[in-house]
Structure 1
């Protein structure tokens, strides 16, 4: 694989910064005036501006500079945060992204209009000058008469990030005369010294008339990795003199600052520098390399299965021992590789805050967006393919689910609607739910629309779940008028197809007047799964083990193509795979039933033999088999032959209640 170009590196880093900026601006809209949020947004803009100029994105650097200059008025406390200001800042963020993605195709007039809006909101007076700072904001920024005393303590891992603290001290010297004293008491003995661990702190007396913000700006990009105590120099001298008069020989310790080193040293003496295992670090890796690594691990798993099968055919203890060791190592490598591919779903959930924010403003419906379970991990490929279905579901929830403020008031509800996006682990699956507190589904209206379109016969007997399932029919829509958000009947059927393509299922529940919940049930990964290997006729198939509930023996047959089982009082229909898959030869005398579940429905799959569990490396079917719904993929067995993976969701849908049933003890 070729190394990424500098422009690609910048685009990747800028994408993360812009995502962080968007989240910060949305937080700022909810918590106006919070200084840490303003500082975080300013740092992101400053980094994008500098990196853009470095990598030749001059238009990005120029626009971001103007954006940063306008935003600095907010940072200085000269203007207050408003909803309109957040909206314009989000538009500016979008414009920066478009400049990065397509520098030549983005019209400059858009940026000029955004900056004009910013200038209007951040405010110019009639004479064009910026607003004067309020008295409350003037005092903190006024420079002290004699300068500042600084106490610096950096995170021990700062050097590994490429930051040179001596350069920061040089920046302080540029502000005025400095007296710098190093604190060396936290240094260990020479044999325990790690040159990559920073255990030196500094005390600095800066004799300059610079304001507090000017001094803090020196450490703008390392504030999250340091503790900074800053006070006027004359007050610091007075405090030091008072401590001396009281007979104190030790230094005055500021809150959150250790006397002898980095912040964590305050809790007790250090026994030495922090080792590699204690420091967290990350490495940017191309997604294609992870996919290639997963392919190689899959091939290793297949080769290991073949080795284990060969070892079982030969009575050689040495070969068996090697096969067991290879199996153990390949299993650990598989788990590690899959763990690398797992990413928190927060990377997906973060985008929907902006979606709800924009839809709320467009439709005039106040909506609160809540995300839960953001630390739930899912395969990166799953997250990429899950984005579009969730966009459809959230748009439907805001457009169709949440009522107008007047209707909510009539129903005794809060004026602000609520949409919750919740992720959680459920065994070998992850469930992602979209819940709203709107009006719920109108079953009578759905039925009437389905009859009008000829989807169901008039007066057909349907359960509530079956009526709700009509929403997933292609071209189905209950919208009375066509709009930019709804009315064309596309969306829910796309959601269903995408989720089924991910080997997942959809559950939909609704309570009139209380809201609707759509739950997506998804496998953890699409690469390697645990499967149950079965035989039907001469062929072998794999059933995903996460869908298997139990296995029982098939009672006496009565010649029908589909029967029921009585499993502890519950009727479960079963499907004979021999008939479905057109297997040749006579069936086994003692067949087995594998009970599987999907979407709250259970059916039994009748097979000739259960061969055991199998570590399944999933291979996609070719485009020629795109219309085959019975199988979700294929795998290679230990003897080199292929086995098809049964699509449990499709089989459950096909296994309707018909026929008789047999008792199972």
Structure 2
């Protein structure tokens, strides 16, 4: 697949996501013309770009949808639930065509096209377009002008590099020809000599005089997907209200088109005075007023030009693979910088230390910028779930509203990619098992329409994502009974409410009385927990029977580089994620003799574990040990280590298969002296040991 096809696929996926969001919003506000316009423009761009990049099947199919929404814009077709459902199905089919290299379900496509054509009023529909022997629609011959005709002057001046994006200007002009009577003049005076021609550059521009029954917006839609790659002007040159209007003089037409400067016109008409001079001579205005008007005109022109240049330079599309390569290189640079800093301090060379500190500052800025480029707003993920909630609530005959907050919260693109499936499963559970049927909700004194709320917020170096519903909540007794039945707990086990709720993450656990096609067979929540833990995150459940349930995901901002606390055990080095660390204290010498495994931290008893015992470190322990106090699972826990070195940027490296049986080790990093430090997964360590 070439780069142009890949670029089209990426653009089409973005447009389909925008289309789906616009349709779901349009379902709530069916008379919003701005939303209707967004749907039409998305379809028009998918169709136009598809035709230019060789995706003819997509272009032909999308044309049917675009035709209906053009009638919607004109008020000839109403926005109904049937139209929304049909357009959503059309978007799904376009995705299938993208994934199947232009194939797809032909029968489904035919059914969708037939349904769209049935929505077109008889006064607007003609005979079906003829098909060729292959079964494809023949090219559209264009509509016959009818009703009120208007004449437009169109100046289309593409950028010289327009060919590099796969755009053929001739196709755009042909589309204008289909709209009515069209006369075209190509300007060739900028074509250089044969020896100087660049075959990949466009030297032509066109003037088109179009007489059509279409509105100006329809003409602009032709150029909608190249509007940033050309200079385009569209002016209506006739006047419906002028019965005896004189034709414009040639000089005026040339001036309006920009083909003639005022200076050149003044030279040609030397024996005549300019309009400004005539007005000043007749004392109907002053020279200062004329000069001011010209100055204002020039300032407006400059401002428009400046805004266009800023808009073109505002963003650039970069391949995700290139971005990942950049982050990998920055990671290696961080390691090299750490080695340089350590060498500089070892040599005690003041100049070298100064250079190392400057390199450290620059490396830190480069790291932050590279990581920032990987960050995406989670709102784009949230918006994809509106369709899921809409479809499932209709299938289950429930009334459910999805609300969101914190959409601007940013998260690493890799984390977002792995997060989608767990969120889908949690939402399915909330919709299927959480939210009650409208009759049940009314009997419980609730609104018939249930609510599922998605929220995101930053918390230190982590992001908290909460999925809340106002459904029936979890039943602690039902969970306990099912856990006893499956042998997950002992009959006399004394569990807190939090521990009982945590049982829903046990493999195969489910309190559902019957199997559901929506949320599965109880084999999903344990997979959700494993998926979140693979992202070095945690998952917690809070629920009140009859009120609702909230599931909280705590995730790291990024999976590539973290700030860590470097500690030692014997001759080995270990790193704790700094976001989990609260403080470091010394272990009292008499604490080991008591054997209580509790520390008194400012009046609070904090349990601790000895890491050298857990990792079987045989080297002699130091006289004075350190305790790293961390927060995990809502409680404070201490981890005893030999010494605390300090904070350390850790470029995370994946572990080999030899560490597959070490679930509490999430990765490794290379230190400045070339040593390897293991990164400890604090949550898994404490889950295993407490």
- 2:388 maps to 355
8 Å contact 1:540–1:643 — kept in the other structure? yes
Within-5 A mapping of 1:339-354: 339-354=372-387
Distance 1:318 1:379 in 2: 37
| 2:648 corresponds to 1:617 | no
Moved more, 169-178 or 540-549: 169-178
Between the aligned partners of 2:376 and 2:332, the Cα distance in structure 1 is: 23
Displacement, 1:64?
A: 1.4
Superposition deviation, residue 571 in structure 1: 2.1
CA distance in structure 1 between the aligned counterparts of 2:67 and 2:214, rounded to whole angstroms: 19
Alpha-carbon distance, 1:145 to partner: 7.3
Aligned to 2:415: 382
- How far the C-alpha of 1:95 sits from its partner, in A, is 0.7
Q: Distance in 2 between matches of 1:566 and 1:230?
A: 81
Aligned-residue RMSD, C-alpha: 4.1
* 1:294 corresponds to: 327
> For residues 474 and 230 of structure 1, do their structure 2 counterparts lie closer, same or farther at Cα, with a shift above 3 Å needed?
farther
Aligned to 1:136: none
Specify which of 620, 623, 626 is matched with residue 586 of structure 1: 620
Query: How much has 1:436 moved relative to structure 2?
Result: 0.9
CA distance in 2, matches of 1:415, 1:365: 9
The residue that corresponds to 2:504 in the other structure is: 471
Displacement of 1:605 in angstroms is 0.7
Q: Which residue of the other structure, out of 644, 647, 652, is the alignment partner of 2:678?
A: 644
Shift of 1:210: 4.5
Give the corresponding residue for 2:253.
none
The count of corresponding residues between Structure 1 and Structure 2 is 605
Q: What corresponds to 2:20 in structure 1? A: 22
CA distance in 2, matches of 1:273, 1:79: 40
**Residue of structure 1 aligned with 2:484, choices 427, 446, 451:** 451
Relative to structure 1, the CA distance from residue 369 to residue 150 in structure 2 (aligned partners, 3 Å threshold; closer, same or farther) is farther
Could you tell me which runs of 5 or more consecutive residues in structure 2 were left unpaired when the two chains were aligned: 129-144, 157-161, 184-207, 246-278, 288-294
Counterparts of 2:122 and 2:339, CA distance in 1: 75
**3-state SS of 1:16 partner:** helix
Matches within 5 A, 1:175-190: none
After TM superposition, the structure 1 = structure 2 runs for residues 499-578 of structure 1, keeping only pairs within 5 Å, are: 499-555=532-588, 556-559=590-593, 563-578=597-612
Q: Is the 8 A contact 2:581 2:631 kept in 1?
A: yes
Structure 2 counterparts to residues 485-496 of structure 1, below 5 A: 485-496=518-529
Structure 1 window deviating more from structure 2 (488-497 vs 34-43): it is: 34-43
TM-score normalised over the length of structure 1: 0.81
Q: CA deviation at 1:107?
A: 2.2
Aligned mates of 1:271, 1:364 — CA distance in 2: 52
| 1:173-200 deviation per Cα after TM superposition (whole angstroms, max 9, x unaligned) | 986799xxxxxxxxxxxxxxxxxxxxxx
Cα distance between partner residues in 1 of 2:217 and 2:369: 46
Q: 1:32 to 1:329 in 2, by over 3 A?
A: same
**Structure 1: distance between partners of 2:329 and 2:359:** 15
The secondary structure found in structure 2 opposite 1:489 is coil
Residue 565 of structure 1 and its aligned partner are, at CA, apart by 1.6
Please give the alpha-carbon distance, in whole angstroms, between the structure 2 residues aligned to 1:4 and 1:169. Answer: 26
Q: Supply the distance in 2 between the matched residues of 1:24 and 1:478 (Cα, whole angstroms).
A: 37
In structure 2, distance between residues paired with 1:432 and 1:212: 46
How far off is 1:557 after superposition? 2.3
What CA deviation, in whole Å up to 9, does each residue of 1:309-366 have, x standing for no partner? Answer: 1111112122112211211111111111111111111222221111111111111111
Q: Secondary structure at the match of 1:615?
A: strand
2-structure distance, mates of 1:534, 1:236: 85
CA distance in 2, matches of 1:278, 1:89: 31
Question: Do structure 1's residue 65 and structure 2's residue 99 form an aligned pair?
Answer: no
Partner of 1:110: 108
1:534–1:608 Cα contact (<8 Å) kept: yes
Q: State the Cα distance separating 1:150 from its structure 2 match.
A: 11
Deviation track 1:156-180 (CA, whole Å, cap 9, x = no partner) reads xx9x9999999999998986799xx
CA distance in structure 2 between the partners assigned to 1:345 and 1:214 by the alignment: 35
Which consecutive residues of structure 1, in runs of 5 or more, have no partner in the other structure?
A: 131-140, 153-157, 179-203, 251-257, 657-665
